[in-house]
Amino acid sequence: MIEAPTVDPVTFSIIRHRLFRVVEEAVITLKHVSGSAITNEGHDLMVSLYQADGSLLMGGVGFLHHLTSAAEACKAIIRKFEGRIGEGDLFLLNDPYTAALHTSDIYLVSPIHHGGKLVAWSACFVHVSDIGAMNPGGFAPDAQDIFTEGFSSPGIKLIDGGELRQDLWETILNMVRNPEMVALDLRSMIACNNVARERMLTLIEKYGAPTVDTVCRMLIDQSEARLRERLRELPDGRWQSRQYLEVKGETYKVLLTMTKSGDALTFDFSGSSPQSKYSVNCSKWASLGGLFAPLFPLLCYDIVWNEGVIKPITMVAPEGTIVNCTRPAPVSVATVGAIQSVNNAACSAIGKMLAASDKYADEATAVWHANHFAIFMFGNNQRGRLAIGILTETFAGAGGARTFADGVDIGGEIPNPISRMANVETIEAQFPIRYLFRRRLKDSGGAGEYRGGAGGEMAIAAHDAPDGGIHYVVSGKGTKFPQSEGLGGGYPGGVNDYVWVHAPSEMHNADRFAATLETIPGEGEPISWGVFPLMGNDALYVRWNGGGGVGDPLNRPAEKVLADIGAGLISEQAAVEVYGVVGKNGALDQSATKAKRTALRDARLNAGGRP
């Protein structure tokens, strides 16, 4: 038995930082090679390093749901290809019932060998431009089972000893609608893994494999010890949260009971709805990723995200439910369906646990932007080429309020620390559309002593389209139920809305530049699920949810409420009815405000609702 080398603190720290940089440089590579707005603008991506056995070594930024699922992907490849994993190989896996979240989030995983020995893996994903599902773009609201959700592999060797398997490559690209863009997506991930492997080997060459391996093991032990120590500092208890989601008149529920005992944490999803016939379901690996997405930043903001963080956590997800569906249930909308609801529920429960601690109360948060609208557009663009892509505003998000501050308006989301939206011009350059407006949305942030961050609203119309317009896919749960729950008396953030505005038969030019939903000429039709046209002078209006609030809205300083009105973030109606703040000629009416707040508190006491 070879004894592990002793590592001094300086070397330990250098190697730790180098591992961070390996992941960071791989992410940069991925973005530079990719040509998709969803990747290099919205940052719907992930890169991480894994140990030789597939366990998480260094979790990177991007969509954190994937950190544990990609670990399972590595393990699945190890099982399937035992004895056939060589230097320069690269594997593809996107089967949701093996490890992936949905088929369009393809994992490419590369073994890293040193001296002929497998020492680590790099893994990454992007949401590819298309996967051949029955609806373009990967989200398939029309899908009835996994077989209609596109190409799905439990693991294939795409590169063998450094040689691309051209027959497989062509087969994959033959199954998608826009092979050029998907090829670029795949090449960006290959380049990403190549950089990760090269940088890891450089690190190993400099410090030696035994030393790097020792540091990796130390990092995992350290992460586990630090998370367990943190859990011991938090109070024992049980916290519940609940999420509703609706598809075509059917309501589903994700129920979470989170129990913290000593240095362990259990997430139990018993009581959640049976799996759906619609594609909002998710597999158990996806649920695991969904609960870890808020856990990493909320509980491990100063702890390396690796296997050590996973060990103290247990998940219970009953089979056959919406959070652990059975094959062949459809799952293509999982990432913005059940997974996001799991993420929201975990965020809410963790937030409540943190709020119960004097030491960690400042780390507590209401639920952030809880509902992606995830609209994929497709059609021939102004250059006559097929374009498929997402409206990246779905990544713009909104911050949940904290116990000491408002949520950040359009402030991103918990599960992806680097999410963002593209400039309007970027989308207009790729699609034959024109933005009518895009702005923060009034009354979208949950009310509270600390207000939830505002979501947004936007409208688009066809422009310079060779076919008279384009089509879009909406997998839009989130119009019936707010999902950004408040904390400690805070209200939930608003809901999403999708309105197809049918244009009148004749339009004046001035009408083509409406700046609000109300002034867009035509008749509005609420929509939420399916494929719809954006043709002629019709418009599509979308609004997205804000973050949850924290604390009693009647405790919010009146001056802040007036400032919110001035900034267009809340309405005068909300100021009076929710915050109890009355203005007069733009200034605070102190006596009327005092009377209104007293009346609102009295109304709570006299509601007669005490059970």
Partner 1 sequence: MRKRISASLFAENGQICCASCSAPLAPTNAGWKHRAALSTLAVGTLPGAGSNVESRLVLRRFSCARCGHLLDTETALPDDPFLEDLVKV
Query: Which residues bind to partner 1, rule: CB under 8 A?
Result: 235-242, 244, 246, 251, 253, 352, 355-358, 361, 364, 403, 441-444, 479-482, 485-492, 494-497, 499, 526, 528, 543, 550-555, 570-571, 573-574, 577-578, 601-605, 607, 609-611
Alpha-carbon distance of 272 to 323, in angstroms, equals 7
Shortest reach from residue 522's CB to partner 1, in Å: 15
Instruction: Give Cβ neighbours of residue 418 (< 8 Å, ≥ 6 apart).
Output: 43, 61, 62
Of 214, 489, 211, 461, the closest CA to residue 364 belongs to 489
Alpha-carbon distance of 85 to 118, in angstroms, equals 8
Of 374, 458, 445, the closest CA to residue 409 belongs to 445
Alpha-carbon distance of 540 to 229, in angstroms, equals 50
Is 596 within 8 Å of 580 (Cβ atoms)? yes
465 phi and psi angles, rounded to 5 deg: -95, 120
Concatenating the DSSP letter of every residue in 447-504 gives PSSBPPPP-EEEEEEE-S-TTSEEEEEEE---SSS--S--BTTPPPP---EEEEEEPP
Instruction: Give Cβ neighbours of residue 563 (< 8 Å, ≥ 6 apart).
Output: none
Nearer to partner 1, 171 or 261 (CB): 261
Shortest reach from residue 445's CB to partner 1, in Å: 9
Alpha-carbon distance of 219 to 5, in angstroms, equals 15
Shortest reach from residue 596's CB to partner 1, in Å: 13
- In the block, tokens 């929201």 appear at 344
Shortest reach from residue 173's CB to partner 1, in Å: 39
Per DSSP bridges, beta strands 313-316 and 264-268 are parallel
Alpha-carbon distance of 507 to 510, in angstroms, equals 8
Nearer to partner 1, 293 or 569 (CB): 569
Shortest reach from residue 459's CB to partner 1, in Å: 15
Shortest reach from residue 609's CB to partner 1, in Å: 4
Nearer to partner 1, 236 or 464 (CB): 236
Nearer to partner 1, 157 or 442 (CB): 442
Alpha-carbon distance of 59 to 292, in angstroms, equals 11
Nearer to partner 1, 12 or 532 (CB): 532
Shortest reach from residue 505's CB to partner 1, in Å: 24
Instruction: Give Cβ neighbours of residue 338 (< 8 Å, ≥ 6 apart).
Output: 245, 252, 254, 280, 281, 282, 286, 287, 290, 322, 323
Separation of CA 407 from chain center: 17
Instruction: Provide the 3-class DSSP secondary structure of residue 568.
Output: coil
Shortest reach from residue 287's CB to partner 1, in Å: 19
Shortest reach from residue 515's CB to partner 1, in Å: 18
Nearer to partner 1, 62 or 490 (CB): 490
Instruction: Provide the 3-class DSSP secondary structure of residue 588.
Output: strand
Is 580 within 8 Å of 537 (Cβ atoms)? no
- In the block, tokens 């089979």 appear at 319
Nearer to partner 1, 133 or 299 (CB): 299
| Structural tokens at position 329 | 């249930």
What is the strand order of the sheet 433-440 is part of? 433-440, 456-462, 539-543, 497-502, 523-526
Shortest reach from residue 241's CB to partner 1, in Å: 7
- In the block, tokens 């129990």 appear at 259
* Neighbour tally for 247: CB within 10 Å: 21
Shortest reach from residue 419's CB to partner 1, in Å: 23
Nearer to partner 1, 182 or 374 (CB): 374
Alpha-carbon distance of 538 to 465, in angstroms, equals 13
Shortest reach from residue 605's CB to partner 1, in Å: 5
Nearer to partner 1, 577 or 589 (CB): 577
Concatenating the DSSP letter of every residue in 270-282 gives TTPPBPPSSTT--
Nearer to partner 1, 82 or 358 (CB): 358
Nearer to partner 1, 240 or 380 (CB): 240
Nearer to partner 1, 379 or 478 (CB): 478
Is 358 within 8 Å of 455 (Cβ atoms)? no
Shortest reach from residue 555's CB to partner 1, in Å: 8
Alpha-carbon distance of 377 to 111, in angstroms, equals 36
Nearer to partner 1, 76 or 342 (CB): 342
Say what the alpha-carbon torsion angle 522, 528, 533, 537 is, to the nearest 10 degrees.
20
Nearer to partner 1, 136 or 492 (CB): 492
Shortest reach from residue 396's CB to partner 1, in Å: 17
